[in-house]
Amino acid sequence: MHPPSLQIMDISMPSDGPAAASLDASDTTLTPSPRVRRVRFYLTNEFGLVLLIIIFGAAFTFAVPRFLSHFNLFILGRTAAENIVIGFAMMVVVVTGGLDLSVGAIGVCAAMGGGWLMQVAGLPWPLAVIGGLLLGAALGFVNGWAVVRSGLHSFIITLASMSIFFGVMIFITRAQAFRSIPLSFASFAHIRYFGFISPLLLLAVVIMLALVYLYRLTALGREMLAAGARASAAELSGVRVKRVIILCHMLAGLLAGVAGLMLVARNDAAIPSMAGQLGQDWLLPAFLGPVLGGTLLSGGFVSPLGTLLGSFLLTLLTNGLLLLQIGQFWVEAVLGLLLLVAVLLDQARRSFIARRRMI
Amino acid sequence: MQFLSRYGRTDWFGPLLVTILAAIIVGSLSPSFLSAFNIQVLLLAVAINALVAYSQMIIIAIGEMNLSVGAIGGLAAISFAGMMQVWHMPILPAALLGILIGLLGGIINGVIISLTGISAFVITLASLSIYKGINLGITEAQPFYGIPNLVKHLGNAPFLGPLPWLIIPTAIVGFGLWLMLTRLPIGRCILAVGGNRHAAELSGISIRLTVIVAHALSGAIAALAGILLCARLQIGQPTIGDDWLILSFAAPVIGGAVLTGGHVSVGATTLGVVIVAIITEALVLFNIDPFLVQVVLGVLILWAVGINRLREFRLKPLRRA
Amino acid sequence: MSRLTKLLGCVGALLFSGLAVAYADPSTKIALVPGGPHPYFASWAQAGADAKKDFNLGAADYKVPEQWQLADQNNLLESLVTQGYNGFLLFPGDPVGSVSTVQELTDSGAPVIALAGCLKDPSTASFCFGTDVYRSAYLGTQHLIAGMAGTKKRILHVTGFLVDPNTQLRINAVNQAAKEGGATVAETIADIDAPGPAEEKINAYLAAHANDIDGIISTAWVPSVVSANALRRIGTKRIKMVAIDHDKAVLQGVKDGYLLGTMLQNPYGQGYIGSYAIDKLRNGCKVNASAPWTKNALTARFIDSGTVFAGPEQVDNYLQSMQAITKTIFASFAKTYLICSK
């Protein structure tokens, strides 16, 4: 008895599912020759992203020397940190072949919950942060539970829950902000290590390492990947797919909460409008990071490092384009074009690898 | 009994029942709901939203999704308004060029998707940014005001009783889509590709061409929706289309569309639009706390898909038999 | 709109070119940053250009965030600091959320004035210079109530996004004015800053309840336009309406008698005087703590940039009345609100 949702899993998704599975299984295949291994390294998505980051970084430095000023680097790192964690929140659901349109709504709910605990309930901030994160995870649980119980695709469930979470939050808070945020908490977003490194960026890196650990070294992580790659097969081999899907959504809610609380620190306040109407402003960074990073929308393959680099590249481009003064209004068009080019290049790389059978 | 079970199985029966019930309930609680003017207002909303829903429906039919529906609609709307204001172009050519732009946008989506095999979700996410970005780049986010009076008139006035002019293009498109999906070969190709891509390919259908045609249609219909909305609002707003995404999925899904493709219904989708319009209106009529409106809409979507789900379970044994 | 702006600009330039003074500082680079694209702010561009010329500034550029999003505005502001702008006239994307960004701007040495909308105290902005949202809504409602004499005085209030805290201020103001004037607020329709939803909700309400209300007060741009068009379409002059701002459709509605009038604001004056003040603040002037500041719901340091009710007689020459206010504020501005060592 498979959950009906699994039939809808690969809605709109490309045909590279099998390739993904083989990518994932690369460590079990025969050891390739050193030369092939070297070429394969140059062909990885992550290497391509690093290359792009270096190229664009150099170009922006050349065009706008202030690009490398301490202030700009600090700003860049801090904004990137937020986008990276938002990207992670989406990535952990995409692993299962689903998606979570409500990341923004959950993030704002968690932030408002944390803000309430700090200001109204008067809890010390570490407890309030834990409370906010738990709220995020709880809302993620609601999503996951609804997905497995109804058997509907997470797209529809989270489309609805986005409205519901955000609406209830606005109803309860009457759109009022919480601004009595302890300085010791808010300072996380304002401290600069060595003049230009934001603690938030370090936090994003730590989260990435934790996710790498989860997917590479724990049974749960492998189950998540298996459930995404081929749910029915995973089910047969003893993975409790429903439970795993719920856990993925909870993790997404938790990470969305982290991103929301980062924004609270950055704004010194928990404000309902910080992710836009219904939290929709987060959707673009949420998808761009993982997609640029090579995470498959059909599920089963994940690259936390790729997501980190992808989100960073996105932030770098936005920042650089603004500095170049090409006209604020064309930034979005250029970003879209770059995303398209990046996706096409990635596709070319994949088919090149597949042709050469380098995996 | 046999009659009931026969119609119970069709897509449009459930939504129709809900529509009638909702109309009766709202109408009895607030008699002005059934006034001619109110029906006209309702039809205006339905005319545009139905096109938005059709535009997504045709992509759902091939088992993909199109996130750029709103961006295409917005781009076509501001092109339409801009060509009339800046180039003083007559209405008809401006409208046709607007639709052409939408058609082109759809074709670009379709060609890239079918040539690369990358998921439509990713490609239309990228093209959403591009089309919206071009829109913002052209308008610098300022609306075009130079809409000719004739367009303003057509966008708001009725031609017969409470029937607004805007309902005519929508009716034509709706009928055309119904005809195409049920009677024409291309419609069958679309449904076949959505139903089972592999089988469709084996039976000699060109997947590529079908995907491109579906996206082209989607783009053209979205453009038409944008142009009609522009006429209705009486300004070429750059924000047109920004809020279409939720509705574009909600209406087909309420109308029983299966997101994996292969199964959509024009009539039921239209009824889905009508239901959303009635509920939106009821929330205003009954003075529901504005802070709660979002919640009600979210619950509505869940409730509708829940009903669909039940119906599917009930129908499955029937179909197999 | 653009014609209006130009006219406004010309009149402004003529008026003030005589007032320009010699201590100007070409190193002053000012950015005028609205919360997002909105027709209301369009005259800031002209105001900045005029101020640059009149006060010999290095720059006074109008920079618009791509979309009405706090994060977009923050990114833009940060990049403007990197580009070397050293003075900011800012419509806060959020009265609370923008406080920390403003802190970072002032930390970089750039004076900041909250323009058109205020920051919530405490903040490091020098002061807030803009329309008193509460007062504007309150006065508008009073005008509406006066115009509804002899009816049952039932009011429909249409307004903007609920996530904008100013919306709550407007709702409070309208309710307060209604209570004092013996009127009732039949319904408040909010969250309609986008044309599509505004069109749907307002028309739906009018379709059902047109007979249950006697007046409409609008406290946001888009609902004003949509309601004005709706009244014209229905063709009724029984329902009285007071709108806000100077959209063409609204002004025409006032002229044709569908609207009692509209509450005008003074964006040009905000941009012009604001640029002047930033330059002064960068050159040895300090904010006068004991100036006659107005207090509003957000801040204790508020300067009203002027709100004018324009009825059918005033819409054609409302520019003059706004110019008069701008001139009055400007004449005594430095003396009243600044303490200058030079």
pLDDT at A2: 38
Is residue B154 less than 8 Å (CB to CB) from chain C?
A: no
Q: How far apart are CA A250 and CA A237, in angstroms?
A: 23
Residue A21 confidence class, pLDDT cut points 50, 70, 90: very low
**Across the interface, which of C1, C210, C233 has its CB nearest the CB of B145?**
C1
Q: Which residues of B70-103 are buried (b: 16+ CB within 10 A; e: fewer)?
A: bbbbbbbbbbbbbbbbeeeeebeebbebbbbbbb
Average pLDDT over residues B131-145: 86
Close Cβ partners of C20 (under 8 Å, ≥ 6 residues apart): C54, C55, C56
Residue B212 confidence class, pLDDT cut points 50, 70, 90: very high
Q: How far apart are CA B312 and CA A315, in angstroms?
A: 44
Give the residue from A188, A274, A282 with the most C CB atoms within 10 Å of its CB, the best one to mutate: A274
Strands C112-115 and C128-130 turn out to be: parallel
Residue bearing tokens 């599917």: B312
**Amino acid identity for residue B157 in this structure:** A
Strands C338-340 and C285-287 turn out to be: antiparallel
Assign B71 to helix, strand or coil. Answer: helix
**Across the interface, which of B118, B246, B306 has its CB nearest the CB of A343?**
B118
Cross-strand partners of C264: C308
Is residue B142 less than 8 Å (CB to CB) from chain A?
A: no
Name the neighbours of A, counting chains with at least 3 Cβ pairs within 8 A: B, C
Residue bearing tokens 């994003």: A204
* CA distance, residue B309 to nearest chain C CA (Å): 29
Q: Is A269 in Cβ contact with C99 (below 8 Å)? A: yes
Nearest to A109 by CA among A136, A85, A88: A136
A27 pLDDT higher than 80? no
Provide φ and ψ at C79, rounded to 5°: -70, -30
Residue A37 confidence class, pLDDT cut points 50, 70, 90: low
Give the residue from A74, A78, A268 with the most C CB atoms within 10 Å of its CB, the best one to mutate: A268
pLDDT at A204: 96
Q: How far apart are CA C50 and CA C36, in angstroms?
A: 22
Give the residue from A75, A108, A321 with the most C CB atoms within 10 Å of its CB, the best one to mutate: A75
Which parts of chain A fold into alpha helices (H)?
Answer: 5-8, 17-24, 34-42, 45-63, 70-94, 103-119, 125-150, 154-173, 183-186, 199-217, 219-229, 231-236, 241-267, 283-292, 304-324, 331-356
Report chain A's mean pLDDT, rounded to a whole number: 83
* B300-317 pLDDT tens trace: 778 777 776 676 655 554
Residue A1 confidence class, pLDDT cut points 50, 70, 90: very low
Strands C112-115 and C87-90 turn out to be: parallel
* A234-282 pLDDT tens trace: 888 888 889 999 999 999 999 999 999 999 999 888 988 887 778 888 8
Q: How far apart are CA C222 and CA C245, in angstroms?
A: 10
Q: Is the CATH number 1.10.3470 carried by domain A42-356?
A: yes
**Amino acid identity for residue B288 in this structure:** I
pTM for this prediction: 0.81
The radius of gyration computed from the CA coordinates of chain A, to the nearest angstrom, equals: 20
pLDDT at A12: 37
Residue B4 confidence class, pLDDT cut points 50, 70, 90: low
* B179-210 pLDDT tens trace: 999 999 999 999 999 888 888 888 888 999 99
Q: How far apart are CA C157 and CA C173, in angstroms?
A: 11
Is residue C192 less than 8 Å (CB to CB) from chain A?
A: no
Phi-psi region of B264 (alpha: psi -120 to 50; beta: other; left: phi over 0): beta
CB B278 within 8 A of CB B211: no
pLDDT at C169: 84
Average pLDDT over residues A91-109: 92
pLDDT above 70 as % of chain B: 91
Average pLDDT over residues B22-51: 85
Q: How far apart are CA B163 and CA B41, in angstroms?
A: 9
* CA distance, residue A104 to nearest chain C CA (Å): 13
Question: Is the ipTM above a cut-off of 0.95?
Answer: no
Strands C184-189 and C215-218 turn out to be: unpaired
In chain C, which residues have their Cβ closer than 8 Å to the Cβ of A269? 96-97, 99-100
Residue B9 confidence class, pLDDT cut points 50, 70, 90: low
Size of interface A-C (CB pairs under 8 A): 96
| pLDDT lower than 70: segments of chain C | 1-25, 163-165, 342
Q: How far apart are CA A183 and CA B128, in angstroms?
A: 40
pLDDT at B292: 74
Nearest to A100 by CA among A86, A82, A112, A120: A86
* B50-89 pLDDT tens trace: 999 999 999 999 989 899 999 999 999 999 999 999 999 9
**What is the sign, positive or negative, of the torsion defined by CA atoms of C70, C76, C82, C83?**
negative
The domain spans of chain A are: 42-356
**Across the interface, which of C187, C199, C233 has its CB nearest the CB of B233?**
C199
Strands C285-287 and C240-244 turn out to be: unpaired
CB A244 within 8 A of CB A97: no
Q: How far apart are CA B130 and CA A332, in angstroms?
A: 7
CA C210 to chain CA centroid, Å, is 30
Q: Which of A304-318, B36-50, C133-147 has the lowest mean pLDDT?
A: B36-50
* B78-128 pLDDT tens trace: 999 999 999 999 999 999 999 999 999 999 999 999 998 888 888 998 899
The domain spans of chain B are: 40-312
Provide the token pair at B246. Answer: 């939720």
Residue B5 confidence class, pLDDT cut points 50, 70, 90: low
Q: How far apart are CA B230 and CA C235, in angstroms?
A: 21
pLDDT at B2: 60
Domains and CATH numbers, chain C: 2-131+267-306+319-340 (3.40.50.2300), 133-264 (3.40.50.2300)
Q: Is B65 in Cβ contact with A12 (below 8 Å)? A: yes
* B242-281 pLDDT tens trace: 888 878 888 888 887 877 788 888 999 999 899 888 887 7
Give the residue from B68, B118, B198, B264 with the most A CB atoms within 10 Å of its CB, the best one to mutate: B118
Average pLDDT over residues B126-143: 87
Q: Is A157 in Cβ contact with B294 (below 8 Å)? A: no
CB A268 within 8 A of CB C120: no
Q: What angle do CA C129, C135, C136 make, to 5 degrees?
A: 85
In chain B, which residues have their Cβ closer than 8 Å to the Cβ of C226? 233
Q: How far apart are CA B200 and CA B182, in angstroms?
A: 17
DSSP-derived secondary structure for C212-271: G-SEEEE-SHHHHHHHHHHHHHHT-SSSEEEEES--HHHHHHHHTTSSSEEEE--HHHHH
* B226-237 pLDDT tens trace: 999 999 888 888
CB A151 within 8 A of CB A242: no
Is residue C15 less than 8 Å (CB to CB) from chain A?
A: no
A152 pLDDT higher than 90? no
A122 pLDDT higher than 60? yes
Residue B74: closest C-alpha in chain C: C196
Q: Is B237 in Cβ contact with C204 (below 8 Å)? A: no
Q: Which CATH architecture has domain B40-312?
A: Orthogonal Bundle (1.10)
Which parts of chain B fold into alpha helices (H)?
Answer: 2-8, 13-29, 36-61, 69-86, 91-116, 120-139, 149-156, 167-183, 185-195, 197-202, 207-233, 244-254, 266-285, 293-320
Residue bearing tokens 């029983």: B256
Nearest to C118 by CA among C310, C261, C304, C313: C304
Q: How far apart are CA C188 and CA C131, in angstroms?
A: 22
A23 pLDDT higher than 50? no
Q: How far apart are CA B151 and CA B154, in angstroms?
A: 5
Q: Is C84 in Cβ contact with A267 (below 8 Å)? A: no
Q: How far apart are CA C295 and CA A21, in angstroms?
A: 64
Average pLDDT over residues A63-91: 92
Is residue A273 less than 8 Å (CB to CB) from chain C?
A: yes
Residue C190: closest C-alpha in chain B: B290
Q: Is A269 in Cβ contact with C100 (below 8 Å)? A: yes
Give the residue from C167, C233, C248 with the most B CB atoms within 10 Å of its CB, the best one to mutate: C233
pLDDT at C165: 66
In chain B, which residues have their Cβ closer than 8 Å to the Cβ of A287? 122, 125
DSSP-derived secondary structure for A214-242: HHHH-HHHHHHHHHHH-HHHHHHTT--HH
**What is the number of other CB atoms lying within 10 angstroms of the CB of residue C253?**
25
Provide φ and ψ at C65, rounded to 5°: -60, 145
Compare A174 and A21 and report the one with higher pLDDT.
A174
Q: Is C78 in Cβ contact with A266 (below 8 Å)? A: no
* CA distance, residue C81 to nearest chain A CA (Å): 9
Average pLDDT over residues A341-349: 81
A18 pLDDT higher than 80? no
Name the neighbours of B, counting chains with at least 3 Cβ pairs within 8 A: A, C
Q: Is A328 in Cβ contact with C76 (below 8 Å)? A: yes
Q: How far apart are CA B209 and CA B204, in angstroms?
A: 12
The number of residues making up chain B comes to 321
CB B58 within 8 A of CB B189: no
